C-alpha cells in the first residue's frame, strides 16, 4: 500500500483565499448603542447628583482669602458635609452675602454660637484668648480693631485671611447658618494649588 504523503501546514498548499469582512447587521448595532446610551445617561445622572447635592465646583473671585485661596482659583465645595457635622472654627465656608443673597462669599469661620469675639489692633481674641492664625501672614494682616461681641445663636463670625482686603463680619456682622451652604474642601486649579483647602 503506497504511503500517503504528509503535508505541513503552509507547504505544498495553495494559500487560502481571504475571507470577506462580515458586515454587522444593523439589528446588532442597536443593542450596543442602547447600552452605551444607558451608561452615558447613568453617568450624567450620577454627576448631576454629585454636583447638585454634594460637591460643586466654584471659582474664587477676589483676593480676600489670599494666600490660602487666590483670585480665579477653582475649588470644590462640599454642600452636604454640614448635614453630618457642625460648622467649626477654622472652616472655610461659602455663604450667601447677607446684604445681597444673590452674591456668594467665601470666608473663614472664627467664632461659633456663644463665642466672645474681640479684635484689638488686628489681634483676634476668642473667649478672651489670643487666636494663633498661621494662615494670616504679616503681609496680609491689618491693625483694625472690633469691639467685643457675642456670636448670636445659629450664627458664625467670619473673616477673610487677607485682613486688609476683606469685607467680612467686621462689616456685616455674624452670618446666620441658613446662609451658609458649603465648605471649601479641595482646590483643583491651578495645578500648583492642587490639594485640600486649609
Q: Is residue 127 part of a domain?
A: yes
* Residue 177 structural domain: 56-196
Query: Which residue's C-alpha cell is 472652616?
Result: 91
Within a domain: 125 = yes
User: Is residue 18 situated within a structural domain?
Assistant: no
Q: 62 lies in a domain?
A: yes
| pTM attached to this predicted model | 0.76
Q: What are 17-54's pLDDT values in tens digits?
A: 555 555 555 556 677 788 888 888 887 777 766 665 67
Distance of CA 154 to the CA centre of its chain: 24
Q: For residue 9, what are the CA distances in angstroms to 4, 12, 17?
A: 16, 8, 15
Q: What is the pLDDT of residues 125-181, one digit of tens each?
A: 999 999 999 999 999 999 999 999 999 999 999 999 999 999 999 999 999 999 999
CB atoms closer than 10 angstroms to residue 13: 9
The answer as to whether 74 is a domain residue is yes
Helix H or strand E encompassing 40: helix 26-49
The answer to the question of residue 101 being in a domain is yes
Active site residues: 64, 107
CATH number at residue 179: 2.10.109.10
Amino acid at each position: 500500500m503506497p504511503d500517503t504523503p504528509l503535508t505541513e501546514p503552509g507547504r505544498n498548499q495553495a494559500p487560502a483565499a481571504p475571507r470577506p469582512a462580515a458586515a454587522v447587521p444593523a439589528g446588532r448595532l442597536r443593542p450596543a448603542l442602547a447600552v452605551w446610551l444607558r451608561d452615558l445617561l447613568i453617568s450624567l445622572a450620577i454627576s448631576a447628583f454629585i454636583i447638585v447635592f454634594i460637591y460643586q465646583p466654584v471659582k474664587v473671585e477676589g483676593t480676600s482669602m489670599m494666600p490660602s485661596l487666590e483670585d480665579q482659583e477653582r475649588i470644590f465645595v462640599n454642600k452636604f458635609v454640614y448635614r453630618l457635622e457642625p460648622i467649626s472654627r477654622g472652616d472655610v465656608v461659602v455663604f450667601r452675602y447677607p446684604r445681597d443673597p444673590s452674591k456668594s462669599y467665601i470666608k473663614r469661620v472664627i467664632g461659633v454660637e456663644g463665642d466672645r469675639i474681640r479684635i484689638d489692633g488686628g489681634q483676634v481674641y476668642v473667649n478672651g484668648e489670643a487666636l494663633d492664625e498661621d494662615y494670616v501672614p504679616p503681609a496680609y494682616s491689618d491693625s483694625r480693631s472690633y469691639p467685643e461681641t457675642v456670636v448670636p445663636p445659629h450664627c458664625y463670625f467670619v473673616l477673610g485671611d487677607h485682613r486688609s482686603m476683606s469685607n467680612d463680619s467686621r462689616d456685616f456682622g455674624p452670618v446666620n447658618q441658613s446662609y451658609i451652604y458649603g465648605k471649601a474642601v479641595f482646590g483643583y486649579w491651578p495645578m500648583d494649588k492642587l490639594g485640600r483647602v486649609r
